[in-house]
Structure 1
Amino acid sequence: AAAAPTTASNKTSNVNTTTVTASEEFRTTAAELYATFTDPARIAAFTRAQPRKFEGAKVGGKFEIFGGNVSGAYEALEEPRRIVQSWRLDQWPAGHFSTLELVFDQNDVDGVTVMRVEWKGVPVGQEEVTRRNWNEYYVRSIKTTFGFGTIL
């Protein structure tokens, strides 16, 4: 569900942006998923390479992964339920970051955790590539690397 485009202003550009959302179920706990996005060894495992930069999972801690194709910084951390990052794809306009919010909802009855994802500030026209890359390089890779569920 995409929101109406808005104009986001950041340090170097005025970019027409929109919001992108996604939701995925994993057969694991919220704590395990949280660690997958904050532990540099786990990040290296699912991205298939050491992070180019990793200043730590702390507010203001910058990161570059996937050979620099994804970069950002941690903005909020609420273990084990929520992570907020500034987040960008390298192909986006220079200096433009979205705000990525990850929320992990654990369901103990079914033994699954739903990861809800929302990017605010995705450049218009980049919605599909953002969603496709997320599904391929994050969701599928995390599931296959850690055995957290079925890949469809």
Structure 2
Amino acid sequence: MAKWGQGDPRWIVEEREDGTNVNNWHWTERDATSWSKGKLREFLVGIVVENEAGRCQISEMKQVEGIIKESGAKHKGLIEIPNLSEENEVEDTEVNVSKKKGDGDVLKELMRTAGTAQVREALGGYLKALKTEFTVGMILPTKATATQELTIKRKLSENTLQIQGSSPVPLGVRIPTVALHMTEMFDTAVEQLYSIFTVKDLVQKFSKSPAILEAEKGGKFQMFDGNITGEYVELLTNKKIIMKWRCTNWPEEHYATVALNFVPTPGQTELQLDCKGVPACKEENMKFCWKQQHFEEIKGLLQLTTLNG
């Protein structure tokens, strides 16, 4: 056996400085951990299942939040996937659902049946992305596929799209969107309600999670463990807040425009929410997010503040 650096160069496999895997000659390894975490969050967080008994949503990785419609009781649970592998059929993937203390058995059953089906469908999307997105550049095209790729590039160039080399080029894709309008009454002064959306400590209290807040024009924000991010576009103290707003499971770089109008009334404040640019497939998730995770939690915070005051 020839020593390293000696012998017939046709039989020596070395790492090229440019990282090219020439003719698919040797295995290429890449750590998929970070990519997979982000992609799984994109596919799983925001999944909603609902029936006449209740409604559940995967609010963050592993965590499920639900509400029983008849009583209005809220419950939390966990969802775990112990055997996810591209070697197994998605239909055989085990999905374990458990609930925390309480009588939320109907919600657990909802997630165990309808929820499991949606989770497996999402996992199928993740595994497909793993094979088509993450492995780009790890296995090079053969001469046959290279010819086909060249034909595709020529067709694209005829449509004035420019592609350099074989690097993937992000092309904008128009997605269907909807507009939402919601109103909610709060038993508090407009000044206090406005501060709940602009003061970090208060945001962390109603969201029950860490938050990053720069409540000024152009300032960034991040809430619900990073599941919601955005930027402040306009702030009129005690009157209006306009934001660029997105969930992590939305199409990459897509933002909705969220406008909050604070209207004082005797002894109360009416909050008018207008959303434009919400992905049509996320409409119900968006309504649930604002109704349950914002409005109801803020009312609970206000009630707690009143009792302690």
The TM-score bracket by the shorter chain reads: 0.7 to 0.9
Check if 1:136 corresponds to 2:295.
no
The normalised TM-score by structure 1 is 0.84
Give the root-mean-square deviation of aligned CA atoms. Answer: 1.5
2:21 corresponds in structure 1 to none
**In structure 1, distance between residues paired with 2:216 and 2:235:** 7
Check if 1:65 corresponds to 2:238.
no
Q: 1:30, CA displacement in angstroms? A: 1.1
For each residue in 1:100-129, what CA deviation from the matched residue of structure 2 results, as whole angstroms up to 9, or x when unmatched? 000011012xx1111000110001121111
1:16 corresponds in structure 2 to 176
2:263 corresponds in structure 1 to 105
Equivalent residues of 1:28, 1:112 under 8 A apart: yes
Check if 1:116 corresponds to 2:272.
yes
Q: 1:25, CA displacement in angstroms? A: 0.3
Q: Find 1:27's aligned residue among 184, 187, 192.
A: 187
Check if 1:37 corresponds to 2:193.
no
Equivalent residues of 1:58, 1:74 under 8 A apart: yes
Q: 1:139, CA displacement in angstroms? A: 0.5
**In structure 1, distance between residues paired with 2:226 and 2:177:** 22
Shift in alpha-carbon separation, 1:28–1:97, aligned structure 2, 3 A: same
The normalised TM-score by structure 2 is 0.42
For each residue in 1:50-104, what CA deviation from the matched residue of structure 2 results, as whole angstroms up to 9, or x when unmatched? 21x32x1001111110011111011000010100000011111011000000001
Partner amino acid for 2:185? Answer: E
1:77 corresponds in structure 2 to 235
Q: Find 1:86's aligned residue among 233, 244, 247.
A: 244
Equivalent residues of 1:87, 1:100 under 8 A apart: yes
Structure number with the higher helix fraction is 2
Equivalent residues of 1:17, 1:124 under 8 A apart: yes
Equivalent residues of 1:30, 1:80 under 8 A apart: yes
Partner amino acid for 1:82? Answer: K
What fraction of aligned residue pairs are identical, expressed as a percent?
Answer: 30
Q: Which runs of 5+ in 1 are unaligned?
A: 1-10
Secondary structure of the residue that 2:203 maps to in structure 1?
helix
**In structure 2, distance between residues paired with 1:36 and 1:105:** 15
Q: Which runs of 5+ in 2 are unaligned?
A: 1-170, 305-309
**In structure 2, distance between residues paired with 1:19 and 1:143:** 25
Secondary structure of the residue that 1:91 maps to in structure 2?
coil
Secondary structure of the residue that 1:147 maps to in structure 2?
helix
1:49 corresponds in structure 2 to 209
For each residue in 1:7-30, what CA deviation from the matched residue of structure 2 results, as whole angstroms up to 9, or x when unmatched? xxxx95422211011100000111
Structure with max Cα Rg: 2
Check if 1:126 corresponds to 2:278.
no
